[in-house]
Structure 1
Amino acid sequence: MDLHVRYEGDDDPKKCTAKKLDRFDLAALHRSDRATPYGVVLNPHAEKALSPADKDSGALVALDCSWESAGEAMFSLPGEHRALPYLVAANPVNFGRPMQLTTVEALAAALVIFGAKEHAEEILSKFNWGHTFLELNEEPLRRYSECEDSTEIIEIQQEYLDRAE
């Protein structure tokens, strides 16, 4: 699956996971909405959860921007917008925080849910903490990847949300 990132460039370039993916030719960066291809857009504000049913929708698109500017209006990209289910960050800045994923973590999570775990491992291998993301989220990612659709994803996600409270 082709990985694309709508790149805002408002984070520290030394810590930017999207820039690193681009350097290794693992994802294409796009500076405008128009240049970004149509596909599944990872959007935390989407009304529908990402599920294996979305895997044939073309490209996988993430938005790389600062969490401070990641409001709903930023997600104006064309495509099928989907929210990732409950997962925990492994990146050094947000380690252990739910739903505070870097761009590479979001893309890797989607790939695992789509049944492309090896592709997820490949992109995470460029980060010394990358394997930790898969280890921390091994059970939920496995369960999400076994779902049929968004409805099943939401049911499983609710179990993790109930535990987190």
Structure 2
Amino acid sequence: MRIYILPLFKDDPRKSTGVRLIRRGIAERGAPRGCVVLNPFSKIVISAEDIQLAERRGILAVDTSWKAIEEVRWPRGFWRRLPFLVAANPINYGIPYKLSTLEAISAALFILGHDEEAFSVLNEAKWGMEFYHLNRERLEAYRLKNRNDIEEAESMMIRELLR
């Protein structure tokens, strides 16, 4: 599956997981139209219903600092958000939804059933597999499911945490 990163250089490029994926040849720099755009503000969750589109057009992640997220002009495409997942990156460890670009891309790949590619992305960070271990149950609950099933699983997981 084609992976695109739109780096906005709002944080340290040496720590940028998106830039790292581009440097390693795993992702391409750019924002082609018509791809699945990972956007945390989207109302639509990524699901198995997006597999054909993602396989045909690719997945795009905007690489920026969470501090600058409100300023992003999101590229055209099919906006999708990720369901409830917990960050394992050193900056936002344990914080729900505040994933690095690398974590977001790998999560999308897992949900779309591209596990091998997802593991290959995670292996680009020392803490990559920690993301998988922290979220294994969640990722399995979301993997290859339709939107309704993912939203239901997400709600159930959040309710359990709030007990």
Same fold (TM over 0.5): yes
2:105 is aligned, of 83, 104, 107, to: 107
Is the 1:9–1:65 contact (alpha carbons within 8 Å) kept by the matching residues of 2?
A: yes
Match for residue 62 of structure 2? Answer: 63
Match for residue 150 of structure 1? Answer: 147
| Pairing 1:140–2:157 present | no
TM-score (norm 1): 0.92
CA distance in 2, matches of 1:135, 1:55: 24
TM-score (norm 2): 0.93
| Pairing 1:89–2:80 present | no
Match for residue 32 of structure 2? Answer: 36
SS in 2 for 1:56: helix
Is the 2:39–2:74 contact (alpha carbons within 8 Å) kept by the matching residues of 1?
A: no
Identical residues among aligned pairs (%): 35
Is the 1:104–1:124 contact (alpha carbons within 8 Å) kept by the matching residues of 2?
A: yes
1:46 is aligned, of 42, 59, 70, to: 42
Shift in Å at residue 76 of structure 1? 2.6
Structure with a larger share of its residues in helix: 2
Runs of at least 4 residues off by over 3 Å: none
SS in 1 for 2:12: coil
Shift in Å at residue 36 of structure 1? 3.2
Match for residue 123 of structure 1? Answer: 121
Shift in Å at residue 75 of structure 1? 4.5
Structure 2: segments with no counterpart, 5+ residues: none
Is the 2:46–2:147 contact (alpha carbons within 8 Å) kept by the matching residues of 1?
A: yes
CA distance in 2, matches of 1:38, 1:70: 21
* C-alpha RMSD of matched pairs (Å): 1.2
| Pairing 1:160–2:151 present | no
